A and B are shown apart, each in its own frame.
Chain A
Amino acid sequence: MHQLELKNITKTFGSVVANNNVSLTLDQGEILSLLGENGCGKTTLMNMIAGIYYPDSGSILINGEEVSIHSPIDAFKYGIGMIHQHFKLVDVFSATENIVLGYKDQEKFNIKKAAAKVKEIADKYGFIIDPRKKIYDMSVSEKQTVEIVKVLYRGANILILDEPTAVLTPQETKKLFDVLRKMKEDGKSIIIITHKLNEVMEISDRVAVLRKGEYIGSVNSKETTESQLTEMMVGKKIELNIERTEPKGCVDRLIVNNLTTIKEDGLLGVDHVSFTARSGEILGIAGIAGSGQKELLEAIAGLAKIKEGSLDYIEPHSGEWVDLCSKNPRQIRDLGVRLAFVPEDRLGMGLVGNMDLVDNVMLRSYEKGRPVILDRKTPGKLTDQIVKDLEVVTDSVHTPVRRLSGGNVQKVLVGREIASVPKVLMAAYPVRGLDINSSYLIYNLLNKEKETGSAVIFVGEDLDVLLALSDRLLVLNGGKVTGIVDARTVTKEEVGLLMTKTVESTVEE
């Protein structure tokens, strides 16, 4: 008898099948990794166990008994607790308040007693937590700790962690894994969602793999290899086949020196970053999520508050240095600097979801032409061109972009940015959530820009892609540059080390 068993679970959202006939088991005292690429339905599946969604068909069994989980409260009743990737915490509450929120024990409500109990749980498993600290004062890993203690406080036996290490430093990850091991010894069962193979091997007893919403199989961690897992995860092995030409006629185009920026919450965005981007070359930027990639690109695009350092663009014809510090995007444009930026948040920043394709395409150029009255004709032609060249699938150019699929949204955005014939092109995670074909289209577009002499800055998350596409690779960690290397000669392991290297302390492991 398994502690938790899923039988033939199917869940659809509209026409999208998120999970198709998935079956899965979890035994007591086991750490199970749920492995799969982005968008393969891992989180949806777990959300059904946690009571966020309700399956369309199939059944969930706890200790052999069929149960019906309609809400998170039902899930708690069966001892299931989920730690979501986006923390569900109330900002203005203290740690304890968040932990006891929604929990009905038989005792009278007493926040002080609860705080003592929180402390007790923390000590048992080796967490460090200040029960009275407010969430808005906490770091990401502290918030995660609160989430885990919250679940334990309710006496959960089955813990589900959705990509817990994505936001953690290596040291924090190590601490988290220590805690998880202690929980396992204590008899708790744990499911950890991840797509990082090394972690899978390190922490889990067993690995279950999902691909495109379907259950592929499960293997014991000790009896498998990373390459076998990869194969299960992606299907047939995909050899990255990105053409990379030798950079030609490289000249310095953008010089960043000792740049330090301040985020809206007052913390440092990037910390004394220096590098040069050259024409005819792709500069890849690697780093674990939230290492300052977004802040760096936004600073160059004129969207961040710069504390110190310099940012200079070198005019291709005259060789003149143009200072970009403390200029907003419009001022940068007015200076004649041809800077294109494909931001990470496509519909929240790069495009306006409720506007149609034409109106989105003219975002960059609407000021041109006659005064006062908009010119939609020229952008209209450009839109037709983009739709044709990049094979954007859409009913018409007057469809709101939010109705397009992710890949087509990205094509519109990249198409618009490239249309300005940029001298510097920055792209943040341009292939995130895209299928293979669209991804390759984007890679090719970046390569084409490089060949026409743009300085391309490419922020990616997939190391293989970064290594195959870039000419040079800049690695960020904690807002600092930990290395700039030649992407042709460097190994994946070396980059991995740089990504986790902290500048103050020595390299771990």
Chain B
Amino acid sequence: MVEFFFQAIGIAVIFLLGCVGETLTEKSGHLNLGIPGIMCVGAAGGILGVVVANNANGFLSILLAVIFAAVFAAIAGGIYAFLTVTLRCNQNVTGLALTIFGNGFSSVFINNIIKIEGDSGHGAMLSEAGNKFFLAHLPFSDLLGWFGKIFLGHGVLIYVAIAIAVVAAIVLRFTRIGLNLRAVGESPATADAAGINVTAYKYSFILIGSAIAGLGGMLYVMQLMHGIVGAELAGTVEGIGWLCVALVIFTLWKPALAILGSFIFGALYIFPSFLNVFFPDATFTFAQLKLFPLIPYVATIIVLVVTSIIGNKENQAPAALGLSYFREDR
């Protein structure tokens, strides 16, 4: 049971980063369906960072992984931003193209990494030193029993991820920047008239959101897969990316709620692996086991439907989500 919660948190932070990244992007009025692709690119960047650090030391590995992941993802986000903000292209179409590109790019990239690093059967094993550092948990966690394991037993980046979500929540809720950003997503014309640089806000938060989501992709490889790079990676990360997009709706565009929501998604995601813990007496056929991954998708659909039926004004998507802003439109 302790292991279940421990692992749920491990996967949850990936959802959390993807979700916070997409939330920030959507708050600027841009539905970025390229987030799954961006997470793939982020994963590729993280891998490159670790490879470049070349086992030098753990800290450098982690630092380069973070920087490369964020920069790679931001560049991918930059393509999206240029097309949708400056060239005012359709957001859905651009996002899908980016996801196709991002998945392809990281697949090609990862294949080459596997070739270079050598295939151990399940893929390439990256940097030992870095890997240890990624997984090194906080002090005292061994002393505090289950509490220590669940809450303190994770790699340092997991706490960084939660901190990012908290900061995002605070920025959105309590700062001038957050207020301006929300205004841009709700009504760019209003924000423009109020003297806010709409384009700058859109660009900044698409890039920041992409970088954060990219970290999520990187965490998947370095944290959850323990640095093992397999050929399936891009596909799995893309799948997680789509769940992140869903999670934004599930958490009503609130990064603070995203912390809770991502934990629920994380728990649902790994639930199938822990059936014997929850149902020690039940046996499941091979086929039945294949049905459990349905749960998070079905849950999202339910939330989607329920929120749309309730239709509260406060908990809706930003009003200008998906629309291009053109000042001289009259």
**In the complex, B195 has a CB within 8 A of chain A:** yes
- Residues from chain B with Cβ under 8 Å of A71 in the complex: 192, 195
* Residue in chain B with minimal CB distance to A104: B176
**In the complex, A22 has a CB within 8 A of chain B:** no
Q: Is the CB of A90 within 8 A of B176?
A: no
**In the complex, A321 has a CB within 8 A of chain B:** no
* Residue in chain B with minimal CB distance to A136: B313
- Residues from chain B with Cβ under 8 Å of A104 in the complex: 176
- Residues from chain A with Cβ under 8 Å of B190 in the complex: 88-90, 101
B257-286 CB mask vs A (1 if < 8 Å, else 0) is 000000000000000000000000000000
* Residue in chain A with minimal CB distance to B330: A13
Q: For the complex, what is the distance from the CA of A262 to the CA of B183, rounded to whole Å?
A: 30
Q: Which residues of A contact B (CB under 8 A)?
A: 13, 50, 52-53, 71-73, 76, 84, 88-93, 97, 100-104, 109, 111, 136, 150
In the complex, the 9 A-B pairs of residues with the closest C-beta atoms, listed nearest first: A102-B194, A73-B195, A109-B176, A88-B190, A102-B195, A88-B193, A102-B196, A90-B186, A101-B194
* Residue in chain A with minimal CB distance to B176: A109
Measured between C-beta atoms, what is the minimum distance from A194 to chain B in Å? Answer: 21
Interface residues in B178-193 (C-beta closer than 8 Å to A): 179-180, 182-183, 186-187, 189-193
Of A76, A93, A100, the contact of B182 (CB 8 Å cutoff): A93
B300-330 CB mask vs A (1 if < 8 Å, else 0) is 0000000000000110000100000001101
User: Could you list 13 A-B pairs, sorted by A, with CB under 8 Å?
Assistant: A71-B192, A84-B193, A88-B187, A88-B190, A90-B182, A90-B190, A92-B186, A93-B183, A100-B179, A101-B179, A102-B183, A102-B194, A109-B174
Q: For the complex, what is the distance from the CA of A72 to the CA of B180, rounded to whole Å?
A: 15
- Residues from chain B with Cβ under 8 Å of A93 in the complex: 179, 182-183, 186
Of A53, A72, A76, the contact of B192 (CB 8 Å cutoff): A72
Q: Which residues of B contact A (CB under 8 A)?
A: 174-176, 179-180, 182-183, 186-187, 189-196, 313-314, 319, 327-328, 330
Q: Is the CB of B191 within 8 A of A102?
A: yes
* Residue in chain B with minimal CB distance to A74: B195
Q: For the complex, what is the distance from the CA of A88 to the CA of B183, rounded to whole Å?
A: 11
Q: For the complex, what is the distance from the CA of A97 to the CA of B186, rounded to whole Å?
A: 13
- Residues from chain A with Cβ under 8 Å of B191 in the complex: 90, 101-102
Q: For the complex, what is the distance from the CA of A103 to the CA of B176, rounded to whole Å?
A: 9
* Residue in chain B with minimal CB distance to A82: B193
Q: For the complex, what is the distance from the CA of A73 to the CA of B183, rounded to whole Å?
A: 16
* Residue in chain B with minimal CB distance to A100: B179
Q: For the complex, what is the distance from the CA of A76 to the CA of B190, rounded to whole Å?
A: 15
* Residue in chain B with minimal CB distance to A71: B195
- Residues from chain B with Cβ under 8 Å of A109 in the complex: 174-176, 179
Q: Is the CB of A91 within 8 A of B194?
A: no
Of A84, A88, A92, A102, the contact of B180 (CB 8 Å cutoff): A102
Of B189, B319, B327, B328, the contact of A91 (CB 8 Å cutoff): B319
Q: Is the CB of B194 within 8 A of A72?
A: yes
| A89, A101, A111 — most chain B CB neighbours (10 Å) | A101
Measured between C-beta atoms, what is the minimum distance from A261 to chain B in Å? Answer: 21
Q: Is the CB of A97 within 8 A of B194?
A: no
The verdict on A90 contacting B192 (CB below 8 Å), with A101-B179, A104-B176 known, is no
* Residue in chain A with minimal CB distance to B193: A88
- Residues from chain B with Cβ under 8 Å of A73 in the complex: 195
* Residue in chain B with minimal CB distance to A13: B330
The verdict on A52 contacting B193 (CB below 8 Å), with A91-B313, A92-B313 known, is yes
- Residues from chain A with Cβ under 8 Å of B180 in the complex: 101-102
